[in-house]
């Protein structure tokens, strides 16, 4: 018979992830079906699942999927780090967000102004002004121009 291609699976994974109720588990299920069918996952397919769990604040599942991605020999991209950092922001965990932003920067990946703003807001919501200031200073050194949404 005909085997579904990556494009078919990623469509189901993306559509499932969009469901705000149980989409994270359904997206993960489709991802597993894809790999069981012998279709090689990509950083993008993993990121869709990671992002779905990040939105739910389910870091245990998020990091489990990150580990699967790494075990498949795939390296996180800015988008993957963004999902991870956003998960810490949702939980108002300034130190977790700071740690993962630092990991991303240490890997030579450049955050965008939106991610930096998310991190700074998470720090301020958690009353971690020093962490927020660290990244505002970093932005200045790196030539970023903070906007109204940064504060």
DSSP codes joined into one string, 94-109: HHHHHHHHHHHHHTTP
Give percent of the chain with pLDDT exceeding 70.
Answer: 96
Residue 97: count of CB within 10 angstroms of its CB: 29
pTM of the predicted protein model = 0.88
98-119 mean pLDDT: 94
**Residues 6 or more apart from 33 whose CB is under 8 A from it?**
9
Whether 150 shows a pLDDT value over 60: the answer reads: no
32-55: pLDDT as tens digits: 999 999 999 999 999 999 999 998
């Amino acid at each position: 018979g005909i085997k579904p291609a990556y494009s078919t699976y990623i469509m189901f994974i993306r559509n499932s992830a969009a469901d705000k109720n149980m989409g994270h588990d359904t997206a993960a299920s489709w991802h597993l079906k894809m790999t069981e069918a012998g279709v090689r996952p990509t950083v993008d397919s993993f990121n869709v699942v990671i992002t779905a769990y990040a939105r739910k604040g389910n870091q245990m599942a998020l990091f489990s999927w990150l580990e699967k991605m790494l075990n498949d020999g795939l390296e996180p991209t800015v988008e993957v780090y963004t999902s991870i950092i956003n998960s810490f922001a949702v939980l108002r965990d300034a130190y977790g967000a700071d740690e993962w932003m630092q990991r991303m920067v240490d890997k030579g990946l450049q955050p965008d102004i939106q991610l930096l703003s998310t991190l700074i807001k998470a720090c301020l919501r958690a009353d971690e002004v020093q962490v927020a200031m660290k990244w505002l200073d970093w932005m200045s050194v790196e030539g970023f121009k903070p906007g109204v949404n940064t504060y």
